[in-house]
Chain A
Amino acid sequence: MEDLSFQHQVRARADGTRQSALVGVVASGNLEVLVERVLPDAQCSVVVRTAAVGFGDVWTAVVDDFVERFSPGGLKFSINDGGARPDTVSLRLAQAVRLIAENGQ
């Protein structure tokens, strides 16, 4: 397993009022993303535990693009990864942002 952590300053706060949301399942080639509204509006963090060791560069690129695209301010993303492909990671991150943007508890 490898632990990775990314901190970003972002332009704007993420939409919605939900406090947390979860998407995905930890399985081979899949991952879960737990997103929590726990940070100041201008910050975003992504914490990863991954079964695929040695892909730090790819994670950096995926997370950079994601933050640039969605500006998920105030959100902390915690990821358990079973060795998902980068496009699956991007998709789950986008799904997590969409889910927490819903109104609810």
Chain B
Amino acid sequence: MTSWQNNRVARDARIAAGAALARGKVVEARDATRLLEAVLRSGDRVCLEGDNQKQADLLSRALLAVDRSKVNDLHMVQSGVVLPEHLDLFDRGVAKKLDYAYSGPQSARIARMLFGGKIELGAVHTYLELFARYFIDLTPHVALIAAASADREGNLYTGPNTEDTPTVVEATAFKDGVVIAQVNEIVDQVPRVDIPADRVHFIVKSDKPFFVEPLFTRDPAAITEGQILTAMLAIKGVYAPYGVQRLNHGIGFSTAAIELLLPTYGERLGLKGRIATHFALNPHPALIPAIESGWVRQIHSFGSEVGMDDYIRARSDVYFTGPDGSLRSNRAFCQTAGLYACDMFIGSTLQIDLQGNSSTVTASRIAGFGGAPNMGADARGRRHPSEPWLKAGAEADPDGSALMRRGRKLVVQIGETFGDKNVPLFVEKLDAIELAEKLKLDLAPVMIYGDDVTHIVTEEGVANLLLCRTALEREQAIRGVAGYTDVGRRRDHAMVARLRECGVICRPEDLGINPLDADRSLLAARSIRDLVRWSGGLYAPPSKFRNW
């Protein structure tokens, strides 16, 4: 007789084994490792919650400490490989296989471990793609998540940093998996229910709050004149002509410069209300002056940002907040919003090749993608029109039928021609390709494919790739804004001059911008202290950004 509920039976057995260590659902922090030994089975798919912001750090330490003879060869499926413990799991043999999306601070070590064969790599994903696979072929057996507080029944309040939690829980709890949450505190009543108790099986109270990285804070004091010039070019050369209102900004100083120029330079150009009104964006502190100046109508966020909680609470007209008043973020929904409801993505990268492919993978670092590939891709399923989308589509295919022509999302790569330590942004061949060859991967880890990129903005100018008709034009348009890099110096000067005449390349002077005007006095805030002032004292930056 065929049994059709084996998974449920197995899940119940796991919960029963764990319940021996729990009072109700609550397990003491010192018993966390024993709980995991009771609940986990070798070879399980485990989602250890952690992305580029919040981390289930207590549970990751507890997992690292399990008896290897009881638990081994786990298949980790997780957004972020961020904490050292995430990789220690593989060094110890607790885990064997990895599917992930982002590995910022561990990018060098993860590369070494991949080369050393310590990790069996499934794939590097974009967030939304990994989330999708949680529901198809990478469904976790056990999810280890982080929340701000829980009540005794197990209702969870995830606070401003809700992020991935609802998605991870949905995939795990409704497919016979076990959900274990670490919480900062256990309370009589949670401020709001982000995760209902019936989806949560165990709660571990952490002795200190889960770690959150202030990843989206850029100190205006570090913004250079070159970045300001590049930002001016982006505003006047891309935002203005397309009238981009709905957008996502990547992390970086160039986009922070744009945010800080909106209330000054943007205002002078008369663009208020015409651009940058609706965002899929984390609560970037650099956007505070634009918000305070009335530029921004609405922001939906992937996660929160350290120090922004009180500001967000006081600006609920702009942010999404719960009945308790605090931010409700949701990475899966915000990624979807960025994919389908935004007309532009603008962000930086580490390498761009002659076709416009870009990657943050270098020979010794595998940083993963995070959300960029998904923000920075044309959504083929999009059907609603908008002015920027239609205009970009028309530029790409001027002879097509207007009623049948697809629009195009504006995918803008912004950066200076030389990055840190004078490393060139433009290369003939991406390091990602070399890496894929060495690791024998089926696919090179390309962050944004060249055919999705519509514009490249550097301090030398704006290249509009939508207007290029041949591969050669495209290559020369890229070389034409590549400055004094080897790629830039090997340009065909005559062809670049022609591309400039027909508007494919715009220099600062073509846009009426004098590079000597790119001055720090243009920034609406020149320090973190200025941002605090703009916020009326509501923004409370973490200590590492203070100089007072």
Contact = CB atoms under 8 A, between A and B. Distances in A.
Interface stretch (A13-21, A37-45, A80-88): A80-88
B214 to A, nearest CB: 24
A52 B422 contact: yes
A87 B483 contact: yes
Interface in B419-436: 422
B428 to A, nearest CB: 16
B516 A85 contact: no
Contacts of B515: 91, 94
Interface string B456-483: 0001100000000000000000000001
Contact of B422 (A57, A83, A91, A98): A83
Given A61-B484, A94-B516, A95-B516, A88 B226 contact: yes
Contacts of A88: 224-226
Given A52-B422, A61-B489, A91-B226, A86 B484 contact: yes
Interface in A55-105: 55, 57-58, 61-62, 83, 85-88, 91, 94-95, 98
A87 B516 contact: no
Contacts of A55: 422
Given A58-B484, A61-B484, A91-B515, A85 B489 contact: no
B42 to A, nearest CB: 50
Nearest to A62: B484
Contacts of A87: 226, 416-418, 459-460, 483-484
A85 B460 contact: no
Contacts of A52: 422
B39 to A, nearest CB: 51
Interface in B489-519: 489, 515-516, 518
B418 to A, nearest CB: 4
A44 B48 CA distance: 63
Contacts of A58: 484, 489
Contacts of A85: 226, 416-418, 422
A61 B460 CA distance: 14
A85 B420 CA distance: 9
B125 to A, nearest CB: 34
Interface residues of A, number: 15
A85 B516 CA distance: 16
Interface residues of B, number: 16
Nearest to B225: A91
Query: Looking at A57, A87, A88, A91, which has the most chain B CB atoms within 10 Å of its CB?
Result: A87
Contact of B418 (A86, A95, A98): A86
Interface in A22-66: 52, 55, 57-58, 61-62
A52 B515 CA distance: 25
Interface in B228-259: 229
Interface string B197-236: 0000000000000000000000000001110010000000
Contacts of A86: 417-418, 483-484
B462 to A, nearest CB: 15
A95 to B, nearest CB: 6
Contacts of A98: 516
B56 to A, nearest CB: 38
Nearest to A30: B224
A52 B516 CA distance: 25
B57 to A, nearest CB: 34
A86 B485 CA distance: 9
Contacts of B229: 91
Contacts of A91: 225-226, 229, 515-516, 518
A86 B458 CA distance: 13
A75 B422 CA distance: 28
A85 B224 CA distance: 12
Nearest to B484: A86
Contacts of A94: 515-516
A54 B516 CA distance: 28
Contacts of B225: 88, 91
A72 to B, nearest CB: 15
A57 B516 CA distance: 25
B461 to A, nearest CB: 12
Contacts of B226: 85, 87-88, 91
A18 B45 CA distance: 72
Query: Looking at A62, A85, A88, which has the most chain B CB atoms within 10 Å of its CB?
Result: A85
B165 to A, nearest CB: 41
Contacts of B516: 91, 94-95, 98
A91 to B, nearest CB: 6
B500 to A, nearest CB: 15
Nearest to B230: A87
A61 B486 CA distance: 11
Nearest to A52: B422
Query: Looking at A62, A91, A94, which has the most chain B CB atoms within 10 Å of its CB?
Result: A91
Nearest to A95: B516
Interface in B394-432: 416-418, 422
A91 B489 CA distance: 18
A94 B518 CA distance: 12
B520 to A, nearest CB: 13
A83 B484 CA distance: 15
A55 B416 CA distance: 18
Interface in B114-172: none
A87 B483 CA distance: 8
5 contacts: A55-B422, A85-B422, A86-B418, A86-B484, A87-B459
The 3 nearest A-B residue pairs measured at CB = A86-B484, A85-B418, A87-B459
Given A61-B489, A85-B416, A86-B484, 20 more contacts: A55-B422, A57-B489, A58-B484, A61-B484, A62-B484, A83-B422, A85-B417, A85-B418, A86-B417, A86-B483, A87-B226, A87-B417, A87-B459, A87-B460, A88-B225, A88-B226, A91-B515, A94-B516, A95-B516, A98-B516
